[in-house]
């Protein structure tokens, strides 16, 4: 299992174990974490699983593809450097300790 820390906008932290092969979005959904809505179910067709990746982790993640870049245009207050869609981040053992922060709201 991979430990991921999800931080709600109000500062509430959730450290959960997520199985490799799932996405960061599925880890939030399966653990009942508020702040990641994932309306499209992980199809990269909305931006309701938007998070800000901790700066220490930005370079450790795979690059955003064109579809994710396009969907982030619809996210609430996206940050070009740290915004990601959690449905597009596949959990691997290398992501153990990943920290993501939720925006004030999803769109």
pLDDT tens readout for residues 3-43: 999 999 999 999 999 999 999 999 999 999 999 999 999 99
pLDDT in tens, 64-75: 999 999 999 999
Can you give the residue ranges of every domain in the chain? 2-101
Whole-number pLDDT of residue 100: 98
CA gap 28, 62 in Å, rounded: 19
Q: Which residue has the tokens 């245009």?
A: 73
Residue pLDDT, tens place only, 45-86: 999 999 999 999 999 999 999 999 999 999 999 999 999 999
Q: Pull the structure tokens for residue 53.
A: 């990746």
Band of the pLDDT at 107, cuts 50, 70, 90? confident
2-101 homologous superfamily = Beta-grasp domain (3.10.20.30)
pLDDT (0 to 100) of residue 41:
92
């Amino acid at each position: 299992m991979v430990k991921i820390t999800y931080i709600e906008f109000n500062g509430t932290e959730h450290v959960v174990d997520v199985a490799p092969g799932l996405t960061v979005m599925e880890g939030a959904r399966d653990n009942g974490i508020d702040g990641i809505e994932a309306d499209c179910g992980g199809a990269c067709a909305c931006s309701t699983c938007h998070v800000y990746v901790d700066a220490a982790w930005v370079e450790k993640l795979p690059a955003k593809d064109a579809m994710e870049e396009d969907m982030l245009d619809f996210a609430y207050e996206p940050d070009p450097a740290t915004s990601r869609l959690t449905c597009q981040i596949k959990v691997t053992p290398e992501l153990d300790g990943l920290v993501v922060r939720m925006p004030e709201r999803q769109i």
